[in-house]
Amino acid sequence: MKRLLSAVSAVYAMSLFNTGAIAQSANDGKEPFGKSPGGKEVFLYTLRNGSGMQVKITNFGGRITSIEVPDRDKNMGDVVLGFDSMSGYTAKPAANAYFGALIGRYANRLAGGTFILDGQTYHVPTNENGKNSLHGGTHGFDSRVWDVKQASTNSLELHYLSPNGEEGFPGDLNVTVRYSLDDRDGLRIDYTATTDKDTVINLTNHSYFNLSGPGSGSILNENIMIDARRYTPVNANLIPTGALDEVSGTPLDFRAAKQIGSRISGNFEQLKLANGYDHNFVLNHPGDLSAVAARVEDPKSGRVLEVFTTQPGIQFYTGNFLNGSVHGIGGTYTFRSALCLETQHFPDSPNHTNFPTTELHPGQVFHSTTIYRFSTK
Ligand code: BGC
């Protein structure tokens, strides 16, 4: 199995994190965003590109709170679910939906909250109805205050040191996430991580997209293409069985673009187990940032979202747990009123030796890149 975590020298790794003074230049778009539950002041940063795209990110959980891009008539509008205050993110049930957040140490699920590494069994919080560990545990990266290493007009670099043993995971883990905008309406996310002990990681961003705007109703009329010949089927607890099944002949075949809602209610066990789409797709071109991994088109607004990634998988989630109990920017977040495209390693990989490894060792540098690119048609 091809190893997807790249290793370069430890010297390079050190130079990434011992950069000395924090550069805080040229971002006039920094404003107070309130206090974290632990009482730390957090901020909201506005990134802009040369063509009018605007993205807001808070260092609380590294969360994207809004992305404004043009529709086919050149009207700017937000395309992600979010809140304009801290309390929106910390109140339940919104806090359990991970709106716009950076996810770690382990994105997606770890069965029973356990895994074996170097012959040792590790226990991490079972924060999903007591069954699995989901998205890093009870206090994952989504609820941490990230250090701002650099902020400019069109980029923001965040850093978080997750100490050895945090949420049960081994090793001091240094994580840097850099958000940057280009002038072709691309939002690029670069993730870098190093450890001082053998550990496992899976990092992603958990933005909920609705190309017609947050609070504008169902995404079932949007069309999606996913460049995946296989997916990882799940059991009733949404844990991969370990199989890598073909999408061919199933409602998970999105190799040619299909309307999201066209088969979602079909008589197919995987859709029933997840109450819709909530599956990891095995990308056909892992590591290839020039390949379109997924493409969403919204007939209403004319907006198009393309996802590019170096990661081997993508979780396509149709907001099946949204139920109208959360009110955020744009209105009420109803059932299936947004979709997530979480680029990632496969769920529960440490417990499946046939999946690409998520182990990270001292001296290695983990690096991945995802680009969300917007356009119209
Ligand atoms: C998971 C869903 C979960 C959602 C919010 C997604 O990544 O696959 O099952 O409900 O995150 O936690």
Two tokens, residue 127: 């924060």
* CATH number assigned to the domain with residue range 10-376, chosen from the 4 options 3.40.640.10, 1.10.230.10, 3.40.50.720, 2.70.98.10: 2.70.98.10
Distances (CA, A) of 183 to 23, 260, 374: 23, 29, 11
Dmax (CA) for the chain in angstroms is 58
User: DSSP label at 261?
Assistant: G
Tokens 């007591």, located at residue: 130
Concatenated DSSP letters for 266-318?
SS-HHHHHHTS-EEEEEESSTT-TTS--EEEE-TTT-EEEEEEESSSEEEEE-
Query: Residue 20 has what pLDDT?
Result: 32
Q: Is 59 helix (H, G, I), strand (E, B) or coil?
A: coil
CA 154 to ligand 1 centroid distance, Å: 29
Two tokens, residue 18: 């011992």
Residue 25 confidence (pLDDT) above 80: no
pLDDT cut 90: percent of the chain above it:
91
Residue 10 confidence (pLDDT) above 50: no
Within 13 A of 293's CA, how many CA atoms are on the CB side?
Answer: 29
Two tokens, residue 236: 């009733």
Active site residues: 206, 342
Comparing 6 with 374, which gets the higher pLDDT? 374
The Cα 161–Cα 173 span in angstroms is: 6
The Cα 304–Cα 300 span in angstroms is: 11
Do 308 and 371 form a contact (C-beta atoms < 8 A)? yes
Please state, rounded to an integer, the average pLDDT across all residues of the chain.
93
Task: Tell me the best of 135, 203, 314, 335 to mutate to test the pocket of ligand 1, counting ligand atoms within 8 Å of each CB and taking the most.
Answer: 135
The number of residues making up the chain comes to 377
Q: Is 371 helix (H, G, I), strand (E, B) or coil?
A: strand
Query: Residue 176 has what pLDDT?
Result: 98
Task: Tell me the best of 238, 321, 348 to mutate to test the pocket of ligand 1, counting ligand atoms within 8 Å of each CB and taking the most.
Answer: 321
Comparing 285 with 2, which gets the higher pLDDT? 285
Residue nearest (by alpha carbon) to ligand 1 atom 8: 278
Q: Which of 355, 311, 320 is nearest to 338 (CA)?
A: 320
- For residues 105-130, average pLDDT: 96
Two tokens, residue 285: 């071109």
Query: What are the extents of the domains in the chain?
Result: 10-376
Residue nearest (by alpha carbon) to ligand 1 atom 10: 321
Two tokens, residue 55: 């993205």
Q: Is 18 helix (H, G, I), strand (E, B) or coil?
A: coil
CA 50 to ligand 1 centroid distance, Å: 34
Distances (CA, A) of 217 to 2, 25, 210, 225, 336: 41, 39, 8, 21, 8
Pocket of ligand 1 (CB under 6 A): 97-98, 108, 238, 278, 315, 317, 321, 340, 342
Q: Which of 151, 207, 206, 198 is nearest to 179 (CA)?
A: 151
The atom of ligand 1 lying closest to the CA of 107 is: 7
